[in-house]
Structure 1
Amino acid sequence: MSEEYDSKIVAEHWSMADCSASDRNFYCFPAIRNRSCRLIFGETDASRKDWCEYWTIEKYLKPLVPVGRCLSICCGFGEVERTLARLGAAERITGIDIAPGAIEQARVRADREGFHNIEYRVCDVNKEELPEAEYDLIWANGALHHIRDIELVVGRLSRALKPGGLLVSNEYVGPDYQQLSVRQQEIINAVKHLLPRELRTPLTGPPDAPGPSLGAKVKDLLGRVVNSYKLRDDVVYEKLWDMPSVAWFRKTDPSECVRSSAIVPVLKEHFAEVDVRYFNGSIIFYALDQAFYQNYDPGSAAHRRLLEMIFALEEHYVACGEFQQDNAHIICRKVQ
């Protein structure tokens, strides 16, 4: 495993970053989650904010709920556990996370909403053991792509489940640290050029990403300034998206997508029953930024047609084998 993985950076980062605070991302944006819901569950109604948890229960857990005990790993600020409690998924729910600040807030929010059947504690699943055959359900919402020691941790999760228990995982399963092929980067940039100006930022990518040289950094900064003031009307084609480097991930959050490409293979090694439902994202996950999420108008026929066209492009490149699907909803059952 990487010697540069610093768990203190991870704990500090996720003590501040609340992913549940906004729906302006690939996983939660209404115009995209309708498609994700269809691809995962075969359902078209993703109007509920808790659409993923709701349909998971409806499709996989309905005869079993409420289960006795549920464990939620990498729980962050606790939105998933409160959602599961609202849906009556389990009699007792335990949420664990490496980030003390997130756990503190999760406790406050659960208490505020009167959920006394939820407990939270600080835990690094890369290092701590879990009780064996303790849980009927383990929920890993966007969790496994933050796990460095994926083989070790998935083994622990499997042992922690009771026979017949389920592991639910909704994940980014693309390349480690989102290091994409040149071809995929090329198409992502081409798609950004398809977007009208109101739906794209001039150049997206981490502004403080380490460059190969000081000269490259200066050139990139000047390019951003020029682009932002739209002074280059004569430019036919320019770079609109810059792939974050491995060094940038290790600096900001070394857990992000640290072993994401290994998730599905490792789950299949530890569980006899693994149901993988891919919901793509090989272009859209990267090409759409906050300008799109803020300015997209669902009432605009032009905006809707554009998004459908990009969906079709994703499906084309996956179907012809050039791209893999970078996101998946996974249900694993412990049969022994």
Structure 2
Amino acid sequence: MKQPGHDSDALERARIHWDDWQRSQPANQNVYTDWGDHPTVFRAVMRHALGGESENFFTFLQKNYPSCATGHALSLCCGDGAFEQQLLERGVFFQITGLELSPERIAQGRARMSAQNAMRLDFLEKDVNQGEFGKCLFDVIFAKAALHHIQNLEGAFDGMVRSLKPGGLLVTIDFFGPSRFQWTDLQLQACNEFWREHVPPALQREADGTLTPLITRPRVEDMVLMDPSEAARSNELQAMIYKYFDVLEDRALGGALLNLLLYGHRVNRFDAMDPVHNDVLERAVAKERNLMAQGLLSSDFRFIVARAKPWWRRFMR
């Protein structure tokens, strides 16, 4: 089935978007790319999701899934492979094949790789929507901020399961929130109220002194024009994983409030060494967790580890 926006024009626009994004990075002076990069927020997320501030995704996988350390992983939408290099250096996986649409991102990744990593990290320029990953080749499918860019979920998930060896795992850290960033009314209200009432006035202003606009729901047409792959069917992802895989871990990382609150360049206004800024962020974390506990907000970001089901069990749901 042809998915909305999954055509040659959309594919080319997505490729151009990520080529341009990669070229912009050397000039980008931001310390953090998104909400989860901020160390105060990251520690709080680890505390709630993985049980301690000293934990992280690397240590969790090493402790609980040590067989990954000798495994070959296929990393979907790997970009320039920076995170994949960290996975190799930390011994989480032994070998990684990175699949990426943007030739510019692949070129940057290859140029940066050490000779040692080049032996264990390879790139494939391919569209993840095709689901052509081979058969019984990989021990792990790894997807960081990747699944929410897939438009042809059915084809991609069929391909993932085919490409895994028996007992193979899916490991994903991804966005599972509203498709095309169609934030709920409650998300927008919680974010903008917190921004106005708790963020120091100096942080509410742009470099030129003007007030930063409040977060609004983007138009779907603008989202598709910017990047046809962005959050294409993200709100369907969790159900799709449970259909194709037996879920072993499903950890709520949050983000329904924090992602909006710290969206774009906002996150870099919060100095990780400033106790006032950190106090604001901790209160934002507490607010988000309280709304999640009441069932008013879901977790837009999740960390999931799952084992592929036999083919016949995918039809028993």
- TM-score normalised according to structure 2 size: 0.86
Tell me which of 280, 285, 299 is aligned to 1:325: 299
Deviations 1:173-230 (A, max 9, x none): 0010110122221221111102112323469xxxxxxxxxxxxxxxxxxxxx9xx546
Structure 1 CA distance for aligned equivalents of residues 66 and 268 of structure 2: 36
Aligned equivalent of 1:158, options 157, 161, 175: 161
Q: 1:104 to 1:264 in 2, by over 3 A?
A: same
Which structure is higher in helix share? Answer: 2
Structure 1 residue runs of 5 or longer lacking an equivalent are 204-224, 231-237
Residues 239 and 182 (structure 1), Cα distance of their counterparts in 2 relative to 1, 3 Å cut:
farther
Partners of 1:274 and 1:333 within 8 A in 2: yes
Shifted more, 291-300 versus 266-275: the winner is 291-300
- Deviation digits for residues 122-176 of structure 1 (CA, Å, limit 9, x no counterpart): 0001125121111011110110000011122112111211111111110110010
Partner Cα distance (2:195, 2:70) in 1: 45
Which one of the candidate residues 8, 12, 18 is aligned to 1:8?
12
Q: Which residue of 2 aligns with 1:212?
A: none
- Structure 1 CA distance, aligned partners of 2:286 and 2:305? 26
**Equivalent in the alignment of 1:215:** none
Q: Which residue of 2 aligns with 1:256?
A: 230
**Equivalent-residue separation in structure 1 for 2:121 and 2:270 (angstroms):** 37
| 8 Å Cα contact 1:174/1:260 also seen in 2 | yes
Structure 1 pair 177/59, CA: closer, same or farther in 2 (3 Å)? Answer: farther
Match of 2:137 among 134, 139, 142: 134
Distance across 2 between alignment mates of 1:94 and 1:129: 13
Instruction: Return the alpha-carbon distance in structure 1 between the equivalents of residues 265 and 162 of structure 2.
Output: 44
Match of 1:122 in 2: 125
Question: For 2:200, which of 196, 202, 205 is the aligned residue?
Answer: 196
Q: For the residues of structure 2 that align with 1:310 and 1:182, how far apart are their CA atoms? A: 18
Residues in 2 aligned to 1:229 and 1:139: alpha-carbon distance in whole angstroms: 42
1:96, 1:123 within 8 Å by CA — same for their partners in 2?
yes
Q: 5 Å matches for 1:103-118?
A: 103-111=106-114, 114-118=117-121
Equivalent of 1:295 in 246, 256, 269? 269
Percent of aligned pairs with the same residue?
25
| Alignment CA distance shift 1:111-1:185 (3 Å) | same
- Aligned mates of 2:286, 2:156 — CA distance in 1: 36
Question: Partner amino acid for 2:296?
Answer: E
What is the Cα deviation at residue 317 of structure 1? 1.5
Report 1:269-280 matches (<5 A): 269-280=243-254
Specify whether residues 333 and 79 from structure 1 end up closer, same or farther in structure 2 by C-alpha distance, changes over 3 A only.
same
Q: Are 1:60 and 2:64 matched, yes or no?
A: yes
Structure 2 spans left out of the alignment, 5+ residues: 311-317
1:30-70 Cα shifts (integer Å, max 9, x gaps): 11111122233212126xxxx43x12422332244222x21
Q: Which residue of 1 aligns with 2:257?
A: 283
Alignment of 1:36 with 2:45, yes or no, is yes
Report if aligned partners of 1:173, 1:327 keep a CA contact under 8 Å in 2. Answer: yes
CA distance in 2 between partners of 1:261 and 1:72 (Å): 21
TM-score normalised by the chain length of structure 1: 0.81
Secondary structure, aligned partner of 2:35: coil
C-alpha spacing 1:23/1:105, structure 2 compared with 1 (3 Å): same
In 2, distance between residues paired with 1:290 and 1:73?
23
CA distance in 1, matches of 2:70, 2:220: 42
Asked if the contact 2:85–2:117 (Cα under 8 Å) also holds between the matched residues in 1, the reply is: no
Q: Distance in 2 between matches of 1:300 and 1:89?
A: 33
- In structure 1, the residue corresponding to 2:243 is in which secondary structure? helix
SS in 2 for 1:321: coil
Count of aligned positions = 300
- The equivalent residue for 1:334 is 308
Secondary structure in structure 1 of the residue aligned to 2:129: coil
* Structure 1 CA distance for aligned equivalents of residues 125 and 246 of structure 2: 30
Write the distance in 2 (CA, Å) between the matches of 1:329 and 1:282.
Answer: 14
Contact 2:79 2:105 in 1 (8 A): yes
Measured at CA, do residues 80 and 290 of structure 1 come closer, stay the same or move farther in structure 2, by a change above 3 Å?
closer
Determine if contact 2:41/2:285 at 8 Å carries over to the other structure: no
Distance 2:224 2:94 in 1: 38
Mapped contact 2:244–2:309 kept (Cα < 8 A): no
Q: Does 1:145 align with 2:154?
A: no
